[in-house]
Amino acid sequence: MAQTLDRLYSQLVSAAKVKRELLSASFELTSRCNLQCKMCYVCQNANDREGMAKELTTEQWISLAQEAQDLGLLFLTLTGGEVFMRKDFREIYQRLMMMGFILTIYTNGTLITPEIVNWLAAMPPYKVSITLYGASGETYKEVTGFADGYARTVRAIDSLLENKIPTDIKTTVVQGNKHDYDKLLDFAQQRKLDLGVVNYVSPRREGTNTDPIGNRLTPQELLDYEVHINERNMELGLLKRKDFSSSKESPRFFESGLAGTRVSRETSEAFHCLAGKTAAWITADGRLLPCGLLDGVKAFPLSKGLAAAWEELKQECDGISPCKECQGCLFQAYCEHCPARLLKETGQYTKNAPYLCELARKRKEAVNWDVI
C-alpha cells in the first residue's frame, strides 16, 4: 500500500504520459528577486513595479491550482524569482497544502527567517530546494551581488534541517563560482546532503540586468568542471566508474534545471522530457508554458481556462519538429539539447546550437580518453 515516492512518481508518470494528463507543474509565483545573479534567465528587480503589477493575485493562483487539480495535478513546485518576496507566500503555500499537493519550494534561502521555519515546520513541504551560489561571502558578492547572502543561506539551511524540514541543496555553476565546488561539496557532506549541480546556463528568457551567456562556463571549462566532480565523487565513493564507451547513455550527474527531467530518446520526438506531455509551467504573469525556459509556445489559462489552455499547449508542443542535425549527430548521447535550449541558443527549434555541440563533442573526446 505504501511505496517510495520515487517509485510511485515513475509509475504515475508512465500512466499520465499515455493519457497526456497534467501530473506535475511549476508555479513561478514571481519573477522578482532580492538577489541579482548575473546568470539569471528571468530576474526582475525586487521592487520592480511593472513586474509586481503583472503578477497573479493570491486568488488567481489558488483558482489555477484548483483547475490543475481537476486535471490530475499532484506534484507542484513553487518557484520564482524568489518566492519569499511575495507577501502572500505563506497564504498561498498553506492553501495549496490544504489541497493535498506534493509541494516543493525552490528558493535562494536568503529570506527564510526563524518565523518562516516555524510555520513551515508545522506544515512541511515535500522538499525545500535551496540554491547555493557559492561557498563564501566573496563568491556570493561576485555572483549574486550580495556578500551577506551566503551567511543568510547557510543559516536558513541549518535552521530547516534542525527543524527536520526536508531540504536539498544545489548550485548553478558559472564563472564566478566555478572554483567553489570542493567547498560546496564539503558543506553538503557535513550536513549529509547531496549536492545537485545545474550545469547548463541558458540565455535569458526575460528580465533585465543579467548576462547569462557572458557568465556561463565555456564548453571546455564545463567539461573540466564535470571531470572534477566525477573525480571527487569517486574519491568519496559516491560514484562508481563505469565504462560509458559501449553505452548509449552518457554519464549524467546533474540537475535537469528548467527544462525538466529527460525521460526518453525517441528520435521522432522533439521533446525528451515531460514538458508538454505531463508537465507544465505557469509564469508569474499567467502564461502556461511547457517549461520555464520555453516561451516560444504558450497558452493563456486565465482567459480560456486551464483545461483548454493545457490542450492547446500540448498541440503546440506536438507541432514542434525535432532538430534533424541533432538527430543524426554522433555525439547526441553526450548532448542535452531540447527544443527549449535550441530556441534560446539559436532562435530556432531545428538549428543545432554551437555551445551545446561543442560541449557534447568535448564530452565524447573525454570518454574516448577515459577522462570521465
Partner 1 sequence: MKLKSGFLCREVAGQWVVVPLGERVVEFNGIMTLSESGALLLRTMENEVQEEELVQIVLNEYIVDEESARSDIREFVTSLKDNGLLIE
Chain contacts with partner 1 (rule: CB under 8 A): 1-3, 5, 8, 11-13, 15-16, 19, 21, 23, 69, 72, 74, 94, 97-102, 122-124, 126, 166, 278
Pick between residue 101 and residue 349 the one whose CB is nearest to partner 1.
Answer: 101
The minimum distance between CB 226 and partner 1, in angstroms, equals: 34
Check the CA dihedral 321-257-16-67 and report its sign: negative
Least distance between partner 1 and beta carbon 35 (Å): 29
HSE-CB of 312 using CA atoms within 13 angstroms: 15
Q: How far is the CB of 98 from partner 1 (least distance, A)?
A: 4
In angstroms, what is the minimal distance from the CB of 160 to partner 1?
A: 15
Instruction: Name the minimum Å distance from CB 164 to partner 1.
Output: 10
Q: Retrieve residue 93's grid coordinates.
A: 503555500
Task: Name the minimum Å distance from CB 130 to partner 1.
Answer: 19
Give the CA diameter of the chain.
56
The residue among 19 and 242 lying less far from partner 1, judged by its C-beta, is: 19
Shorter beta-carbon distance to partner 1: residue 19 or 228: 19
Question: Is the CB of 50 or the CB of 115 nearer to partner 1?
Answer: 115
> CA separation (Å) from 252 to 187, 199, 211, 227, 262?
22, 11, 26, 12, 10
Write the DSSP string, 166-210: -EEEEEE--GGGTT-HHHHHHHHHHTT--EEEE---PPPSS-SS-
CA–chain centroid gap for 340, Å, is 13
List the end-to-end C-alpha distance of the chain, in Å, as a whole number: 41
**Beta-sheet strand order (sheet of 195-198):** 195-198, 167-172, 127-131, 102-107, 75-79, 24-28, 279-282, 288-289
Query: Which CB sits closer to partner 1, 4 or 303?
Result: 4
Instruction: For partner 1, give the closer residue by CB, 20 or 155.
Output: 20
Indicate the DSSP class of residue 322: P
Hey, how many other C-beta atoms are within 10 angstroms of the C-beta on 268? 7
Tell me whether residue 24 or residue 44 sits nearer to partner 1 (CB atom).
24
Least distance from C-beta 128 to partner 1, angstroms?
A: 13
d(CA 344, CA 53): 26
Q: Is the peptide bond before 292 cis (omega within 30 degrees of 0)?
A: no
Residue 168 CB, shortest distance to partner 1, in Å, is 15
Estimate the crossing angle of helix 149-162 against helix 137-144, to 10 degrees. 110
For the CB of residue 69, give the shortest distance to partner 1 in the complex, in Å: 8
Written as one letter, the residue type at 219 is P
**Between 1 and 330, CB nearer to partner 1:** 1
Of residues 94 and 348, the one with the C-beta less far from partner 1: 94
